[in-house]
Amino acid sequence: MSSSDLYYMPAVEAARAIRRKELSPVELARAVLARIERLNPTLNAFCTVTAESALAQAREAEQAVTRGGPLGALHGIPVSIKDLAFTRGVRTMAGSFVFLHRVPDADPPFVRRLKEAGAIVVGKTTTPEFGWKALGDSPLTGITRNPWNPAMTTGGSSAGAAAATAAGLGPIHQGSDGAGSIRIPSGFCGIFGLKPSYGRVPMWPVSNNDYATHNGPMTRTVADGALMLSVMAGPDDWDVSALDGAPADYTSQLDRGIKGLRVAFSPDLGGLPVDPDVAAVVRQAARAFEELGAVVDEVEPRFADTRDPVRLVWSANYAGNYAQLLPEWRDRMDPGLVACIEDGLRWSAADYVAARGRKLAYWDTVRPLFERYSLLLTPTTSVTAFPVGRLNPEHFPQHRWDWLGWRSLPSSRGSAATARRGRRECRAGAAPPIGAPCPRPPVAAARARRLCRRGALPAPRVARSRRPRAGAAPVARSERRASPR
């Protein structure tokens, strides 16, 4: 089997081949690590590569196959962990000089589960500082670039995970999402990304944004996302907010079909700014739902406008968590993050409580739609990927720190979503992909994945002729990673 075949082999197929002794875990790990070594200087998807330990794990996995006996669902499959998540014995920098030398002594539950299922951790993927924005740069690790066109942003904050997925730097990658951080880069990079219902995947330590972070899979195929989530999901005593009960069997539900399912479609959620090319692609996706037998109605949701309280809560949480760092670290922190923290410091406790109350009451304006429909189809973001180095697209309002105007549309109103590739004609140098997410009521993630699997949205695996040419554009040395490995 050639290395090029291994780069884009789905995890489901690779795991099957390993069990049948048709593929060596060592061969797969070496192929992925070699591709990371070749492409990471351009993409900057990984901030830490654990090649030595990954190969040691791969050799152990190969020996286990030779011995026989039960193997985990992800036995021998390379995986990456976002650098916001703790990893035992591997530094977790969170994109910040503040934590340049931090090495945790424990794994969060979902990392522990991935390892127990046989996955091989090949490294940590890049994120903006503390995951504060939906872009892919940080003062510590530099700019992460879109494999479809390295001059464009990946989106964020799961920036490295999205770039790695699209470029074939391993089949499965972990992301996290509090305000679009899985969905935005998944849409910009043309991959499958799922923000599961809150608490479906345990969170530890507690997130920095008022229990708003969801951990989930970022993959090239829906089946790989379902497989990865089936390993990550489930309650754990380390997270008191985790959902009780065993998760659904996600992989077995992928082929059930969607005939008769009621789906609402809104191109702009009742008036949010959306670029015309984005709206056109998502309208095509809505028609695809109808072709597969779903009942699709275009609606104009009358959801409460939570944009102002979300901005307040966002900046206040970053102020509460990181304002104490400013006297020592201000000059080495992202200037936009510093401005966000300073903005958050001007709010009172009464302001915060009132804004949080509006945020929580928002569901009362959303619930009536989901009493009629199983899913709501909207654009993932208002725009396609824009040039690196910008906080906002050129045609959007500019601000010292506020990037929330163009982000994930469902997040603008507070809903969860599945991001998918919605543009078939992507090629190196062209505009990056467009996403079309499927917001759904809580705990209905299996239904959303089933829709993607059935092809209601274009299949996320990049066909051979449409895979991104990750090295298509040179990157100036000054823009690469700022810190040594």
Query: What are the pLDDT digits (tens) for 258-305?
Result: 999 999 999 998 888 999 989 998 999 899 999 999 999 999 998 998
391/396 Cα distance (integer angstroms): 10
73/330 Cα distance (integer angstroms): 45
* Stretch 247-264: mean pLDDT: 90
More confident residue, 347 or 442: 347
Work out the percent of the chain whose per-residue pLDDT is above 70: 84
β-strand pairing of 142-143 with 149-153: unpaired
401/399 Cα distance (integer angstroms): 5
Four-CA torsion 381, 386, 391, 396, nearest 10 degrees? -70
Domain boundaries, the chain: 3-304+362-479, 308-355
Q: Is 476 exposed, middle or buried (0-12, 13-18, 19+ CB in 10 A)?
A: exposed
- Angle at 203 (CA atoms; ends 197, 208), nearest 5 degrees: 100
470/149 Cα distance (integer angstroms): 7
Select 3-304+362-479's CATH number: 3.90.1300.10, 2.40.370.10, 3.40.50.1970, 3.40.190.10: 3.90.1300.10
- Is the pLDDT at 429 greater than 60? The verdict is no
pTM, entire model? 0.89
More confident residue, 435 or 482: 435
CA-nearest of 241, 275, 273 to 423 is 275
200/215 Cα distance (integer angstroms): 8
- pLDDT band per the 50, 70, 90 thresholds, residue 423: very low
Catalytic residues: 82, 157, 181
β-strand pairing of 192-194 with 262-265: unpaired
Tokens 């999901």 sit on residue: 233
- Is the pLDDT at 466 greater than 70? The verdict is no
Q: What is the pLDDT of residues 110-122, one digit of tens each?
A: 999 999 999 999 9
Q: Are 104 and 443 in contact (CB under 8 A)?
A: no
β-strand pairing of 46-49 with 149-153: unpaired
CA-nearest of 478, 465, 444, 30 to 243 is 444
* Stretch 332-345: mean pLDDT: 98
